[in-house]
Structure formats: structure tokens, C-alpha cells
Homo-oligomer: A and B are copies of this chain.
Amino acid sequence: MDQVDIDVVAEADLEDPLLVEGLPGVGHVGKLAAQHLVQELDGEPVRRVYTPDFPPQVTVEDDGTTELTHATFHAVDAGDRDLLVLTGDHQAQSNDGHYRLAEALLDVAEEFGVERVFALGGVPTGELVEEPSVLGAATTEAFVEDLESIGVEFRENEPAGGIVGVSGLLLGLGERRGIDGACLMGETSGYLVDPKSGQAVLEVLEEYAGFEVDYGDLEDRAEEMEEVVGKIREMEQQAATNVQSDDDLRYIG
């Protein structure tokens, strides 16, 4: 296998498309958002990206067949705007692998005429968030202003550690090619998969790009997660009670 292998799955003629990236990350916020977009707007796979920078792994599908690890570009007709949506199960597995992968993804994006990139992700808050805000960062001041005007928050020193992985490099390396980029980061605890934060991020993109999607499916998944959270809290309270009574015992003697 070459350093990066691009399979042409289908051709698509996209007009001034936005690249939307949703690889795994904090709370799987970006991945959930991108997958939802592809599912609700009937995205069509157009390119598959294989590389030794992904883990040496096949996934096993429900019918027992295997798939070599890859990332997929989907052509999505979002009404006013065409989107090129990138989904996948993995980030690159090494420091310089992230650079190689991001460059290869930008090559594909340029082939489709992409001039603007949205990297979707989460920003960890350390606690459960009822109403997640969406934080932003962008390659140009003009882009920052565009996003501020539709409710994206920009906070000094956030995210403190910068933006890492493919999301960060699509902005950083994209800018060096003349591609504008923004990162939309939904607030999320950092401990759990977070469909609600994914929805918050998508709603910003919806407003920016002028499309509409149904959120029923993400809302169902958010409810499931809330049940999980509820159970975890119950267990924690019970555990706390047990520890207390155990301590009581210990201090009796």
C-alpha cells in the first residue's frame, strides 16, 4: 500500500462545496454530527481513503464481512450548498501520520473545488452540560466575525491546548494552501458520547450553510445517553452511601 491510497467510489460534480470533517474526537461530537448529516441528507460515498497511518485493522460488519479501516468522503446535496462530508472511525496513529493524512484529505478536497473547511468536534468541560454552547476558532478574522454573528462563541484562551489532530491540521495546513477553515466545538463533558452536543454543532452549520435536517434520530440517541447518565449517577450515589457506612464500621473499633 502506498502512503495513502484513494479509491474513487463515484464521481460527483459539486459546486463550491464546504468540506465538513467529523473524525472521532472528544465525545465523538464531530463524528456524530457528520454521520447524521450524511444519513439525513442521503450522502453518497465518493472517495475512500486508506493509509498505514490508520490502525492495522478490519471492522466486522453485521453480515460477517470485513472492511479495511478507512475514511470516507460523501457528496451531500444540502440545498443551497453542496457539502463534502468526511467520516471515519480513526485519527492517524502517529505524530507525522496526522500531517500526512491531513495533506491527503486536503488534496481530495481541492480536487472537488473546496475553498472552505469546517472541522467539527467537541471541547471538554469536565462536567455534564445541559445546554451546550458551540465554541469556534477560524483561520481568518473575517471568518471569526461570520461565525460570531450566528451565535458561535469565541473565548479567550479556549480551547487552552489549541486544536489537535486532523481537525487542527485541516485548518493549519489548509490555510497554507489558501483554504479558509473553521473549527466548531460543542461543549461536552469529555466522558461520554454526546449526541446533544453534536446537534448543537450541526445547528450552527445549518445556519451558516442554509440547509435543514431533522434531528429526531440524534434526539433519540441523546435521550438514551441521558438514561445511561441517570443510571451512572444512581450507582455513584449508592457507592458513596456504601463507602460512608463502611467508614462508619471502620471507625467503630
A94 surroundings in chain B (CB, below 8 A): 95-96
- Whether, in the assembled complex, A55 has its beta carbon less than 8 Å from a beta carbon of chain B, the answer is yes
A110 to chain B, nearest CB (A): 14
Whether A68 and B159, one on each chain, are in contact in the complex, defined by CB atoms closer than 8 angstroms, is no
Copies of this protein in the assembly total 4
A173 surroundings in chain B (CB, below 8 A): 1, 68
Which of A13-21, A25-33, A131-139 is found at the contact surface with chain B? A131-139
> Which of B62, B66, B140, B168 is close to A57, meaning CB atoms less than 8 Å apart?
B168
Whether B139 and A56, one on each chain, are in contact in the complex, defined by CB atoms closer than 8 angstroms, is no
Q: Is the interface of A mostly helix, strand, loop or mixed?
A: mixed
Name 8 A/B residue pairs within 8 A (Cβ), A-sorted.
A56-B102, A58-B171, A64-B136, A64-B141, A64-B148, A66-B181, A67-B172, A93-B95
Interface positions of A (Cβ within 8 A of B): 1, 5, 50, 52-53, 55-60, 62-69, 92-100, 102-103, 136-141, 144, 148, 154, 156-159, 161-166, 168-169, 171-173, 175-176, 181, 183, 251, 253
